Structure 1
Amino acid sequence: MKRKLFCLLLSVLLLTGCRNQDKLALPYTNTDGLNLSADTSENAPDFFASDLAVIPDELNHMSDPEITAESSLIVNDTDNKVIYANNVYERLYPASLTKLITTLVVFEKADLSDMVTISYNASHITESGAKLCGFKEGDSIKLEDLLSAFLIYSGNDAGVAIAEHIGGTIGGFAKMMNQAAKDAGAVHSNFVNPHGLHDDNHYTTAYDLYLIFHQLVQYDKFLSIINNSEYTVTYKDAAGDPVTKNFLTTNRYLKGEEKAPEGITVLGGKTGTTNKAGNCLILYSKDKNNKDYISLVLKANNSDSLFSQMTDLLKMIK
């Protein structure tokens, strides 16, 4: 009941604060003289203060010469405090960060021990540049293994298979995605597919992604999956013969190709890239005091810049 009340109130505040279609408004407005600061002060409503970081307008346009992406955010998720925020309510394309809301639906609606059969649609994604695990029609794989390949390697064919298994069709699953987003308070998003391959009507905001990711990190299984630098899975093909594949992470920190600042441990996250979304990354990290952080960069110019800017965000942790 408390969670439903929170989501209802958050949704109302988000919707009533909307300015226009392209530049999304704040999740609340300062009324009646309340000072709703990002450190969730005693004046902030309880449904924000107890669980989430609040980002007022004066904290949503921070400037740092090293942070040039369209939107960026880092939050102390233990204390619900904003460290840096810029354009977190701007509508943007999420690319494969879409896979976060798909994963939330999996945890809420499915059993990870389910066996999934790969369909023709899942095995025949033809979009240029789409990353694929290489599953074939008729392959049979456990949902937990499919989800792991989906998150670690970012295979879009795994996403279609997951969507069809749970929602029946891509459209049916998209409705479940949007409901899960709404339940998390992410009401400025619209999802039409499970993987994030481009669609003009498929969008979100940095703050919505923070809300979704904040829900996901409550699941130990999610944290254990995204902490893997690689994943090996054995499944059966259409003839019943075993197939073994190894999938490497797309996360440079976990591969040792990018170094986090001293005292910061990157636990995992998700990358995403399309031509229109640019380069995107969300991370979950810990500091030396065991406090947790969610950090996010959307629409960086290239992969090198993406990880460099993320490292600069992590350097802001004191």
Structure 2
Amino acid sequence: MGSFLVTFLITMAVVLPCALGVGFYWRATHPADSTDPASAAQSLGAGGSADTSSEPENSPEPAALTVDLSGLNSREGILLERGGGTLGEVNADETIYPASLTKMMTVLLAAEAFDNLDAPVTLGDDLFGPLWAANASMAGFEPGETVTVRDLLYGALLPSGAECCAAIAVELDGSEEAFALRMNRRAQELGMENTHFVNATGLQDAQHVSTVGDLALLLDAALDSPTFREVFTAQRYSTQPTNLHPDGITVSSSVFSLMQDADLGGMTLLGGKTGFTDEAGLCLATLAGADGEEYILVTAGAPGQSHTDTAHVQDAAAVYRRLSRALED
């Protein structure tokens, strides 16, 4: 019995310290797992706090820029930021007669189709009779005059020359009716779902319709064309000498003329196109800029006559002042 007791005591003296050592080693090398819900709850319950210093702070989203288009003379209107979205609208999808805003499509198609802008084009005598009868706006070219494609583009947009648009249509497709098919194909490609063209000029026709939303879409796409943009933003242009104008002729932008004294707030007018028929009212498409950004405004259906009233210009000035204030806020 004595020897057994001695053996037992010696064994315990060796085993017990080893067991205690293993336990201390395990606890030292395996701290409580912070991802364990029970451990985390126990830690927080003991007065600990979770470390959130590495988490990004959630800053509030800036308010979307909007501009109120109520109270205008125009029945329809839309304001876009180029490369952005719609900032304001009123009746943007209502069917309208686009009048001479149609000529933006005519010039875009010419800019896309003609490789040589200095190519000669002769304006046929038969183009002029219907245009004179309709009292269409003209650039000043005459029957039988030979001009360049470039002359026609500037003549179509700046003074809204109907003879230039008719000449483009005939030169490209042989007739205005055939050219209208080209116009409608391009309109569909651009997503102008509520538009149907029957002529190149915008002269009144019950089947010649659009919306300010579609026309803004057209202008936004057209401005991607360097040729269209150059013409649309020009204030004046002088042709080279022609067979009927030895000194050439100079045409000026009706938009810059109408809006030269308009108060646009902090905005700068970059270009535009006017339109008018008795049925369409006063229409206006403009491009303006501020702080490196560009904005498109299209309005239609303002009351008045093209040579005496400026309700559409007043609307543009009012909207751009509102936009300027919104950008400052």
Q: Give the TM-score normalised by structure 1.
A: 0.75
Moved over 6 A (4+): none
Is it true that 1:307 corresponds to 2:310 in the alignment?
no
Equivalent residue of 2:283, what SS? strand
Q: CA deviation at 1:214?
A: 0.8
Q: CA deviation at 1:307?
A: 0.5
Q: Compared with structure 1, are the counterparts of its residues 304 and 256 closer, same or farther at alpha carbon in structure 2 (3 Å cutoff)?
A: closer
Partner of 1:264: 267
Partner of 2:298: 296
Is it true that 1:95 corresponds to 2:95 in the alignment?
no
Q: CA deviation at 1:110?
A: 1.9
Partner of 2:171: 165
- Does the 8 Å CA contact 2:271/2:287 hold for their aligned counterparts? yes
Q: Compared with structure 1, are the counterparts of its residues 63 and 249 closer, same or farther at alpha carbon in structure 2 (3 Å cutoff)?
A: closer
- Does the 8 Å CA contact 1:142/1:235 hold for their aligned counterparts? no
Q: Give the TM-score normalised by structure 2.
A: 0.73
Q: CA deviation at 1:139?
A: 1.2
Tell me how far apart the structure 2 counterparts of residues 316 and 174 of structure 1 sit (CA, whole Å): 37
Tell me how far apart the structure 1 counterparts of residues 204 and 155 of structure 2 sit (CA, whole Å): 20
Tell me how far apart the structure 2 counterparts of residues 119 and 180 of structure 1 sit (CA, whole Å): 26
Q: CA deviation at 1:81?
A: 2.7
Is it true that 1:144 corresponds to 2:146 in the alignment?
no
The one of 119, 124, 137 aligned to 1:119: 124
Equivalent residue of 1:244, what SS? coil
Q: CA deviation at 1:64?
A: 2.0
Is it true that 1:184 corresponds to 2:187 in the alignment?
no
- Does the 8 Å CA contact 2:158/2:253 hold for their aligned counterparts? yes
Tell me how far apart the structure 1 counterparts of residues 176 and 241 of structure 2 sit (CA, whole Å): 23
Partner of 2:289: 286
Coordinate RMSD, CA, aligned: 2.3
Tell me how far apart the structure 1 counterparts of residues 153 and 79 of structure 2 sit (CA, whole Å): 26
Q: Deviations over 1:238-276 (max 9, x none)?
A: 7xx73511212211x456533242321111010001100
Tell me how far apart the structure 2 counterparts of residues 68 and 231 of structure 1 sit (CA, whole Å): 31
**Greater helix proportion:** 2
Greater Cα offset, 99-108 or 133-142: 133-142
Q: Give the residue type in structure 2 aligned to 1:295.
A: L
Tell me how far apart the structure 2 counterparts of residues 117 and 146 of structure 1 sit (CA, whole Å): 10
Q: Percent identity?
A: 26
For structure 1, the residue ranges without an aligned partner over 5 or more in a row are 1-38, 41-58
Equivalent residue of 2:193, what SS? coil
The one of 242, 255, 276 aligned to 2:279: 276
- Does the 8 Å CA contact 1:139/1:235 hold for their aligned counterparts? no
Number of equivalences = 256
- Does the 8 Å CA contact 2:101/2:274 hold for their aligned counterparts? yes
Q: CA deviation at 1:107?
A: 2.0
For structure 2, the residue ranges without an aligned partner over 5 or more in a row are 1-63
Partner of 2:137: 131
Tell me how far apart the structure 2 counterparts of residues 154 and 110 of structure 1 sit (CA, whole Å): 20
Q: CA deviation at 1:224?
A: 2.0
Q: Compared with structure 1, are the counterparts of its residues 228 and 286 closer, same or farther at alpha carbon in structure 2 (3 Å cutoff)?
A: same
Q: CA deviation at 1:83?
A: 1.9
Tell me how far apart the structure 2 counterparts of residues 134 and 262 of structure 1 sit (CA, whole Å): 35
Q: Compared with structure 1, are the counterparts of its residues 129 and 211 closer, same or farther at alpha carbon in structure 2 (3 Å cutoff)?
A: same
Equivalent residue of 1:188, what SS? coil
